[in-house]
Chain A
Amino acid sequence: MPLKLLLQLSTRNILRHKRRNGLLLAAIIVAVGAVTVSNSLIRGMQYDMADAAVSNLTGHVKILAEGYRDDPNIDKNFVLAENWQPDVAAEELVGWAARVRVPAVIMSERGTRGIQFVGIDPDQEDISFIGQAAYDGERLTDGSDGRVVIGRALAEQLETTVGRRLVIITQGADGLNREAGFRIAGLYDTDGTSLEKIFVFTGVNTLQKMVGADVFTELSIRLVREPFLFQFKTSMIEFFTGLEVLDWRELEPQAAAMFVFADAAIFIWFFIMMGALIFGLVNTLITSVMERVRELGMLRAVGMRPKSVIVQVVLESSILMFIGVACGLIAGWLFILWLGEGIDLSRFAEGMDAFGMRTTMRPIPLAGDMLLVAGLSLLFGVLASLYPAWRVVKIKPLEALRR
């Protein structure tokens, strides 16, 4: 039997019961739409967490002196030569940032806190949160800027503000404590408060002078795209012999675990939705073939092959699934457009901060995810139609005619 004819039969059978098949379509659309929306939100969360982890002064790859991670101290440093940058395809890199980062104590006239004191070259820091943050007052101008910028939350704790002075104590390269006064150039503002309370920034040359050594403690590199990471890391390990070369997954294991978990979550969502859907789908298909037992029996009596019957039922299911998936993807996509910039979760700010997430849940629809959902759904549709098809083929034509 030609496929075209079977296709026509299937289509007409679907149209015979508009209400029933309409309801089934609605269920498919809700399921596929919900999976599309949830996928995009999970992706958004995943990318935001990875982005936050990478922006958290980490970079995709970070180079540290051996032992710095166990004992973050100015002793664990390295020297960078004049033209130290290795050859890397420029289009793969967002940028490099060489920093000095030491633990320190900060004092205002009203309070004292323990902090991480970081010397930066502000021109290099568009790769990290400090280059992207909002400011009150001014930013640091260059690597020899002798002022500091501190987080808004820390400023509140210390009861200080832009233009006031702070004293910072840290250990010098010779092991003795150094104490210096700094004026606050500006206050930076990030999504949560955990970074604001920890990091205080000044010019990298200023901090090098303070600790008394022309050295760095870390080098962060941000890449344009994640897939380049492995290759890049390998070449850095060769280039920076004697130093530790780590990627963000090693430095931020929690964020990395969440990243993997999000991949799994996408499949979990899909199978739950399809699990809920399959009962209705099989039910509707069975009813639809059982109603036509006589009709199908007749067709078989006049010579239609069992195979054609099966193809017809499978087609019926596939057509429904196809329309449902197409509409579901569109519905999900429209919903994502409606969400726009994302769902505002700022009333859960501290909870999101603790989880390393941003306060806006931003949907990121990926074509690959949509294709995966579409493909798996169609496969599901075929699988769901096999039982009803087998059921109706099992009935002998004569028996069917007698019903």
Chain B
Amino acid sequence: MAEIAATASKRDVGRGRGLVAAIAWRSLWRNRRRTWLTAGGIAFGVSLVVFSMAFQAGSYGDMIYNATSFLTGQVQIQRADYIELSRFEQTIGDATETLRRVEQQAGVLSATARVEAFALVSVDERSFGAQVLGVDVERERQVVNFFDRLSRGRVMAGPDETVIGSGLARNLNADLGDEIVVLGSAKRGGVAAMVLDIVGIFDSGISELDRSLLFVPIAAVQNEFGLGDEVHTIVVRTQVDDSRAVVEALGHQLPEGLSVRNWDEVLPEIRQGIDVDRLGGMFMYAIVLMIITFSIVNTFTMTVFERLREFSMLKAVGMRPGKIVLMVQIEALLLWAIGVGIAMGLMVPLLAWLQSSGIYLGEAIVELAKQYYITDRIYPALGPASLLAAPAVMLAATQIAAFASSLRIYWLRAAAGVRAAE
């Protein structure tokens, strides 16, 4: 002790804090094994949380991007009452002008319009109910990637062509080249009838869509179903991070009666699935960090207990209790730094590497993941939130643990301490 103080004071004449830090650093290494074990605990907890949070963030990002780029887009504009009732006559009038205004909005990368009609579709004797989506394929391709993934055939090129879902094709016993009859009711009540050639079949992996959807060029649907320059939905592509701002801006700009919705309102199940998952994760992280904190408290309880005599001595020769406590706090800070240093030293390169290679989920989970728009590989996201949350919590935990254990130093009576520990 005297030796430590002597060497330290040579360097740090008049600089109390430097001296205290130097003592703290040396004290830490008086019991190497304990320091390594405690730092190891911190490193374990921090690594676990950083790793899982990075993968959670990464898979959420992928999930949102894939889900929205699939067919729904990041932002949708509809007549407000259409959202609830989805009635055919609840259209956006002046579609061309509205679409032009949407496209001019900053943050909007591209946009397209759709009409949606319910119809009875038949091939030969077989009939099924199906959703007819009138789309502009060229524009759709700028907004979503649905049409890049037809399983067979090609996209529509003329007004009499259609692309249908694989489930619907199977139910209708239809194939490429067959004729399909579409019967629905037009806006003013008449019968809308179309005869179309099947030129493409899609297999989206979402059986509800494959079973019930067919795509027809928008102009043909508007024509047959008695719509003028009217559409049901305008689908907008933005960066996922910009979508909320775009919703805000469009909400102010567009006429009353139109509702602009962000992806999390259009696909609430995605947002909620993420929230539930995040909640479960939080529970786990809280428990893990709590167990680690107990072990840190324990370490400091033991450290302080073993050095009661030393502290009494320091107190006896005139060191302020505040300074002794400060010394313990600095020990805690150094311990934290070692633990977090190990964790970051391992996790950052590992995650950086995984960012390019990803983790393959395995066959069993891939089927499951598809429904949630996760591809077969997941990638971590290295954001400040996932990297810094666990270290920050651990910093607070170590400081509180050290402080709680070193409080007794205030009550320690200098002489009594020396005697008690003898």
How many Å lie between the Cα of A32 and that of B234 in the bound state?
A: 53
Q: Mark A273-298, 1 if CB is under 8 A from B, else 0.
A: 10111011111101100000000000
Q: Which of B37, B273, B368, B371 contacts A261 (CB 8 A)?
A: B368
**B113 lies within 8 A of chain A by Cβ:** no
**B10 lies within 8 A of chain A by Cβ:** no
With both beta carbons as reference points, the residue of chain B lying nearest to A33 in the complex is identified as: B287
Known: A23-B298, A254-B367. 7 other contacts (CB 8 A): A23-B297, A24-B294, A30-B290, A73-B126, A110-B87, A273-B288, A355-B372
How many Å lie between the Cα of A347 and that of B279 in the bound state?
A: 13
Q: Which of B127, B129, B299, B367 contacts A283 (CB 8 A)?
A: B299
**B271 lies within 8 A of chain A by Cβ:** yes
- Establish whether residues A105 and B129, one from each chain, have CB atoms under 8 Å apart when the complex forms: yes
Q: Which of A23, A169, A176, A273 contacts B294 (CB 8 A)?
A: A23
- Establish whether residues A171 and B127, one from each chain, have CB atoms under 8 Å apart when the complex forms: yes
Q: Mark B272-292, 1 if CB is under 8 A from A, else 0.
A: 111110000001100110111
In the complex, chain A residues 73-119 whose Cβ is within 8 Å of any chain B Cβ: 73, 103-106, 110-115
Chain A residues, Cβ within 8 Å of B85: 157, 159
**B41 lies within 8 A of chain A by Cβ:** yes
**B364 lies within 8 A of chain A by Cβ:** yes
Q: Measured between C-beta atoms, what is the minimum distance from A19 to chain B in Å? A: 6
**B321 lies within 8 A of chain A by Cβ:** no
Chain A residues, Cβ within 8 Å of B70: none
**B173 lies within 8 A of chain A by Cβ:** yes
**A326 lies within 8 A of chain B by Cβ:** no
The dominant DSSP class at the B interface is: helix
How many Å lie between the Cα of A351 and that of B279 in the bound state?
A: 13
Chain A residues, Cβ within 8 Å of B284: 38, 269, 272
Chain B residues, Cβ within 8 Å of A282: 37
Q: Measured between C-beta atoms, what is the minimum distance from B271 to chain A in Å? A: 7
In the complex, chain B residues 41-65 whose Cβ is within 8 Å of any chain A Cβ: 41, 44-45, 48
Q: Interface size on A (CB < 8 Å)?
A: 61
Q: Which of A73, A105, A254, A280 contacts B295 (CB 8 A)?
A: A280
- Interface residue ranges, A against B (CB under 8 Å): 19-20, 23-24, 26-27, 30-31, 34, 38, 70-73, 103-106, 110-115, 157, 159, 169, 171, 175-177, 253-254, 257-258, 260-261, 269, 272-273, 275-277, 279-284, 286-287, 345, 347-355
How many Å lie between the Cα of A273 and that of B288 in the bound state?
A: 6
Known: A159-B85, A354-B269. A30 touches B294 (CB 8 A): yes
Chain B residues, Cβ within 8 Å of A279: 37-38, 40-41, 44, 292, 295
- Establish whether residues A169 and B127, one from each chain, have CB atoms under 8 Å apart when the complex forms: yes
- Establish whether residues B288 and A115, one from each chain, have CB atoms under 8 Å apart when the complex forms: no
With both beta carbons as reference points, the residue of chain A lying nearest to B37 in the complex is identified as: A283
The dominant DSSP class at the A interface is: helix
Q: Which of A72, A177, A275, A349 contacts B272 (CB 8 A)?
A: A349
How many Å lie between the Cα of A354 and that of B370 in the bound state?
A: 12
- Establish whether residues A104 and B288, one from each chain, have CB atoms under 8 Å apart when the complex forms: no
Chain B residues, Cβ within 8 Å of A115: 129
Chain A residues, Cβ within 8 Å of B273: 348, 351, 354-355
Chain A residues, Cβ within 8 Å of B371: 254, 354
How many Å lie between the Cα of A114 and that of B274 in the bound state?
A: 30
- Interface residue ranges, B against A (CB under 8 Å): 33-34, 37-38, 40-41, 44-45, 48, 85-87, 118, 120, 125-131, 170-171, 173, 184-185, 212, 268-276, 283-284, 287-288, 290-292, 294-295, 297-299, 301-302, 305, 364-365, 367-368, 371-372
* Chain A CB within 10 A, most for which of B271, B291, B292, B294: B291
Known: A171-B127, A345-B276. A26 touches B287 (CB 8 A): no
- Establish whether residues A283 and B301, one from each chain, have CB atoms under 8 Å apart when the complex forms: no
- Establish whether residues A284 and B364, one from each chain, have CB atoms under 8 Å apart when the complex forms: no
How many Å lie between the Cα of A104 and that of B185 in the bound state?
A: 17
Chain B residues, Cβ within 8 Å of A111: 86-87, 118
- Establish whether residues A273 and B291, one from each chain, have CB atoms under 8 Å apart when the complex forms: yes
Chain B residues, Cβ within 8 Å of A277: 291, 295
13 contacts across the A-B interface (CB closer than 8 A): A106-B129, A171-B127, A253-B367, A260-B364, A269-B284, A276-B45, A276-B288, A279-B41, A280-B294, A280-B299, A287-B34, A352-B276, A354-B269
Known: A276-B45, A353-B269. A175 touches B298 (CB 8 A): no
Q: Measured between C-beta atoms, what is the minimum distance from A318 to chain B in Å? A: 19
- Establish whether residues B287 and A34, one from each chain, have CB atoms under 8 Å apart when the complex forms: yes
Chain A residues, Cβ within 8 Å of B272: 347-352, 354
Known: A105-B120, A272-B284, A283-B299. A176 touches B125 (CB 8 A): yes
- Establish whether residues A24 and B298, one from each chain, have CB atoms under 8 Å apart when the complex forms: yes
Q: Measured between C-beta atoms, what is the minimum distance from A95 to chain B in Å? A: 28
Chain B residues, Cβ within 8 Å of A177: 127
How many Å lie between the Cα of A23 and that of B302 in the bound state?
A: 11
Chain B residues, Cβ within 8 Å of A38: 283-284
How many Å lie between the Cα of A279 and that of B37 in the bound state?
A: 6
- Establish whether residues B44 and A276, one from each chain, have CB atoms under 8 Å apart when the complex forms: yes
How many Å lie between the Cα of A287 and that of B275 in the bound state?
A: 43
How many Å lie between the Cα of A24 and that of B364 in the bound state?
A: 39
- Establish whether residues B128 and A114, one from each chain, have CB atoms under 8 Å apart when the complex forms: yes
- Establish whether residues A286 and B295, one from each chain, have CB atoms under 8 Å apart when the complex forms: no
- Establish whether residues A258 and B301, one from each chain, have CB atoms under 8 Å apart when the complex forms: no
Chain A residues, Cβ within 8 Å of B301: 19-20, 23
